Structure 1
Amino acid sequence: MYAGGRPNRLARWLNDVSAWQYRHGILTLGGRGVTLEVRGRASGRAVEFPLVLVRLGGQRYVVSMLGAEAQWVRNLRADEGRAVLRAPHPEPVRLVEVPVEQRAPILRRYLDLAPGARPHVSVDRRAPLAEFEKIAADYPVLRVESA
């Protein structure tokens, strides 16, 4: 559903439905389902999409299951990490990239929480942490900080 790192028509529709549900506090997966809003780097308009929020060690994180070339990651980088997290209430946030050497445990927890991401990540969710360390550079992990 994400050939070339972009959602096809079905994935866009499913993302829209999930984003609407999360934004309205419906079926939020126990607080894991959130909607992230970023500004398009070319259009300047707000773009919303659903993500899974990872809580670990007292911090909140989001992960790009499609890697660094995902459009939302590129938009976020162009806007210096500024975004709005809706869980379900809007919260202006800044997303800060986690250093590669710190990503492995977050990626493992992410795969536990986000079954839809598992086909996009090349490591099994039950793999040893060392396997996650090998792929950590391929998947941006961003810490959520209040703006």
Structure 2
Amino acid sequence: MDPQSYSARTRYRRPAAWYLRLNWLGVALTSIGLAPRGAVTIAIRGRKTGKIRRLPILAIPHGGARYLVALAGESQWVRNVRAAGGRVSMRRGRRSDVTLVELPVEERAPVLRAYLDFAKGLGGEKSAAQQAEFYFGVDLDATLPELAEIATHYPVFRIDPA
């Protein structure tokens, strides 16, 4: 099954129905630590409903810090994080409270590059090339200037201790 395509240059790309139906499984596996390296679950209170929302996501290491990349752009979790002032709970086996700090657009390209490199280490070159195409609409070997051109569509958050 191909990954969800997020390469369209729109403000928000709603997840596919199959992804929404299987989200609980990703949350469960990530929360107990049985997911790929770097995968975590974030829990954030919904800005409208007040309900806790959980999302499995990759935490990408880069330059001594870890980052979250919003592949779907201005998604609901991004809006909820902003409304909460960046305060979320993160879990991979053990729960911790963290603060997510959104990077300015001009600082995102190196983290997007790190995401592609991390993907190559997780699933190999073919899988990473597919992710580069479907998630970002670029080649796996995209340069920083090419990634800077698309960075406005992909919010990036640095993970800081709470």
Alpha-carbon displacement from aligned partner over 1:67-100 (angstroms, at most 9, x marks no partner): 1x20000111111111111122111011001121
Q: Find out whether 1:5 has 2:13 as its counterpart.
A: yes
CA gap of 1:102–1:75, structure 2 versus 1, over 3 A, is: same
* Secondary structure in structure 2 of the residue aligned to 1:5: coil
**Does the 8 Å CA contact 1:19/1:49 hold for their aligned counterparts?**
yes
Task: Identify the match of residue 108 of structure 1 among 104, 108, 113.
Answer: 113
Q: Find out whether 1:29 has 2:36 as its counterpart.
A: yes
Residue aligning to 1:95: 100
Residue aligning to 1:75: 80
**Does the 8 Å CA contact 1:52/1:113 hold for their aligned counterparts?**
no
**Does the 8 Å CA contact 1:54/1:61 hold for their aligned counterparts?**
yes
Query: RMSD of the TM alignment (CA)?
Result: 1.9
Residue aligning to 2:9: none
Superposition TM-score, scaled by structure 2 size: 0.81
Q: Find out whether 1:65 has 2:68 as its counterpart.
A: no
Residue aligning to 2:146: 131
Give the structure, 1 or 2, with the largest relative contact order (CA under 8 Å, sep 6 or more). 2
Query: What amino acid is aligned across from residue 120 of structure 1 in structure 2?
Result: Y
Superposition TM-score, scaled by structure 1 size: 0.89
CA gap of 1:41–1:59, structure 2 versus 1, over 3 A, is: same
Stretches of structure 1 that go unaligned for 5 or more consecutive residues are none
Query: Identity over aligned residues, as a percent?
Result: 40
Question: In the TM superposition, what is the alpha-carbon distance from 1:9 to its structure 2 partner?
Answer: 2.7
Residue aligning to 1:56: 62
Query: What amino acid is aligned across from residue 88 of structure 2 in structure 1?
Result: A
* Secondary structure in structure 2 of the residue aligned to 1:41: coil
Alpha-carbon displacement from aligned partner over 1:94-113 (angstroms, at most 9, x marks no partner): 10011211111110111233
| Distance in 1 between residues matched to 2:97 and 2:14, nearest whole Å | 26
Query: What amino acid is aligned across from residue 139 of structure 1 in structure 2?
Result: Y
Stretches of structure 2 that go unaligned for 5 or more consecutive residues are 7-11, 120-127
* Secondary structure in structure 1 of the residue aligned to 2:53: strand
| Distance in 1 between residues matched to 2:86 and 2:79, nearest whole Å | 10
